[in-house]
Amino acid sequence: MILQTLAFYLFAAVLLASAVMVISARNPVHSVLYLILAFFNAAALFVLIGAEFLAMILVVVYVGAVAVLFLFVVMMLDINLTELRQGFLQYLPIGALIGLILLIELLVVAGGWHFEPELATLGQAPIPDITERSNTGAIGDVLYTQYAFLFQGAGVILLIAMIGAIVLTLRHRDIRRQRIGDQIARRPENVVEVRKVRSGEGI
């Protein structure tokens, strides 16, 4: 028990420190690397509470795909930090408004837990016995039975978003294509020039 408590405090401390460094690092590449570190520590916390499926998803999806993609994009874009800092003040009111909204939502959630402790358990599905089903199997049972339509709807929305991103970023470039008919119709006197080159001289 003491070992689990020490592991929890260690992973939680590293997670908080890396999360702060994500938003405070000056180099975007360092921010993405700190984000990957935060994901790994969050996955370790999931393992400590017995949610190994969520830990695996966090590592495979977020670290293996999203964070690495962010890293490659940031490295390839060659971001000019001076230009980014120039437009910081004009986005400050919008950022403050979004932060205020998030703070109000957190206060509402915390207040609901304080005044109604059973509020979080009202919408929960019954969890089967862990000895009968594994954690992954229990999540699959709930996801593909009670939330099957919502799960399929989320997949359709992501598919439409992916197709829309491809369509918006697709650029029709002026590419030279091969035309077989024009190549066959060419005559030698129009494309071939015979020149007499003297010895010791170039063309």
Any idea what the CATH number is for the domain that residue 41 is in? 1.20.120.1200
Of residues 129 and 44, the one with the higher pLDDT is 44
pTM recorded for the entire structure: 0.54
In a domain, 69, yes or no: yes
In a domain, 1, yes or no: no
Using DSSP, state whether 16 is helix, strand or coil. helix
Other CB atoms within 10 A of residue 11 CB: 19
Of residues 29 and 9, the one with the higher pLDDT is 9
Q: Give the structural domain span for 138.
A: 106-175
In a domain, 181, yes or no: no
DSSP for 123-162 reads TPPPPPPTTTS-HHHHHHHHHTTTTHHHHHHHHHHHHHHH
For residues 12 and 58, membership in a common domain is answered with yes
For residues 76 and 15, membership in a common domain is answered with yes
In a domain, 72, yes or no: yes
Cα distance between residue 99 and residue 87, in whole Å: 18
Tokens of 165: 């991103």
In a domain, 134, yes or no: yes
For residues 75 and 111, membership in a common domain is answered with no
Cα distance between residue 184 and residue 178, in whole Å: 11
Average pLDDT rounded to a whole number, residues 120-145 = 68
For residues 17 and 75, membership in a common domain is answered with yes
For residues 122 and 167, membership in a common domain is answered with yes
Question: Quick one: pLDDT at residue 166?
Answer: 79
Question: Quick one: pLDDT at residue 18?
Answer: 92
In a domain, 70, yes or no: yes
In a domain, 55, yes or no: yes
Cα distance between residue 103 and residue 97, in whole Å: 10
CA atoms within 13 A on the CB side of 196: 0
For residues 124 and 169, membership in a common domain is answered with yes
pLDDT at 194 over 90: no
For residues 53 and 110, membership in a common domain is answered with no
Number of domains in the chain: 2
Question: Quick one: pLDDT at residue 128?
Answer: 54
Q: Confidence band (pLDDT; 50, 70, 90) for 17? A: very high
In a domain, 39, yes or no: yes
For Cα atoms 118, 9, 115, give the angle at the middle one, nearest 5 degrees.
20
